[in-house]
Structure 1
Amino acid sequence: MTIKILLPVDGSACSLRAVDHLLAHAAWFAEVPEVHLLHVHPPIPIGRVQAHIGKDTLHGYYLEEGQASLLEAQKKLDAAGRFHTTHIHVGQPAEVIAHVATELACDLIIMGTHGQSALAGVLTGSVAARVLHLAPCPVLLVK
């Protein structure tokens, strides 16, 4: 049975350390794990924004930002010869991470403890702590 690992990244140094941790500890797994690299972009308030830029432009923005946030993690996995599938979603990060882990039937989530926005974490609560609460599988947090 192949182990499925969800690796949420936001481009931050901490999320890239989670990628490094997975690569450094690949021997923990009897078989090569199935790696799902995920970026979740918090939604932009739609109200007035969409009246000015349109749905297609907003979708393009989310896609471009998501690809940019995944790039360094993809480079690390590619350099190590680790095949991975990428996913880009828009929504509340912790909820989306837990939802994707459930949908993909992941066995493990490996993620950094802190993301891009330290201030947002202080104001709204840590994404990592919320994932621990919502996740359907074990979560490995990397400092």
Structure 2
Amino acid sequence: MASYQKALIAVDLSQESNEVIERGLSVANGCQVSLMHVIEPLTFAYGGDIPMDLSEVQEQLQNQAQDKLFKLASDNGISVDDCQVVVGQPASEIHRIADESDIDLIVVGSHGRSGLALLLGSTSNGVLHGANCDVLAVRVHPSD
């Protein structure tokens, strides 16, 4: 079995992100690793219900996410040059970046949802079913 050449670790910036990164790095076993976070546009959440320009708020969210992602990268020995924060629908953006970068392993966290939450879908499920490469869904355990 050939080893992986390029891995993409997608995190949600929750407390469990380190767990996902650590597992991804252990499986990636020395290959080139990229770290990413996807922010859903505020217009997805609020649509046209709020009669105001949300671009400044969106930019602040992106800057905060980038700071957190850079900190996670630094704490785990990943170069900030290999990090990116993108805006869009998480599964679609992860697929896009993976395809554009010739990624052969995507690592995402999975919260193990069941019942109604599972029926409504999850990012890890969406990534798994649309990826053109291997996907590792790391079962994370929420911090109490």
TM interval, short-chain normalised: 0.7 to 0.9
| Structure 1 stretches lacking a partner, 5+ long | none
Alpha carbons of structure 1 residues 61 and 83: separation in structure 2 relative to 1, 3 Å: closer
CA distance in 1, matches of 2:14, 2:34: 17
The percentage of counterpart residues that share the same residue type is 31
> Which one of the candidate residues 18, 33, 42 is aligned to 1:35?
33
CA contact (8 A) 1:15 1:114 kept: no
Alignment-derived partner of residue 89 in structure 2: 92
CA RMSD of aligned residues (A): 2.9
Higher helix share: 1
Q: Tell me the TM-score normalised to structure 1 length.
A: 0.74
> Which one of the candidate residues 6, 9, 17 is aligned to 2:8?
6
CA distance in 2, matches of 1:139, 1:127: 12
Shift of 1:61: 2.1
Runs of 4+ in 1 over 4 A off after TM superposition: 120-123
Shift of 1:75: 3.2
CA contact (8 A) 2:42 2:54 kept: no
Deviation string 1:69-110 (CA, Å, 9 cap, x unpaired) is 4145213323xxx43501111111111111111111101001
CA contact (8 A) 1:89 1:96 kept: yes
Alpha carbons of structure 1 residues 43 and 54: separation in structure 2 relative to 1, 3 Å: closer
Q: One-letter code of the match for 1:94?
A: A
Alignment-derived partner of residue 48 in structure 2: 47
Alignment-derived partner of residue 128 in structure 2: 132
Structure 2 SS opposite 1:17 = helix
Alpha carbons of structure 1 residues 123 and 62: separation in structure 2 relative to 1, 3 Å: farther
| Structure 2 stretches lacking a partner, 5+ long | 140-144
- How many residue pairs were aligned? 131
Structure 2 SS opposite 1:132 = helix
Within 5 Å, which residues of 2 pair with 1:47-126? 47=48, 49=50, 52-53=52-53, 55=55, 57-78=56-77, 82-83=78-79, 85-114=82-111, 121-122=117-118, 124-126=120-122
Q: One-letter code of the match for 1:66?
A: A
Q: Which structure has the higher relative contact order (CA within 8 Å, separation 6+)? A: 1
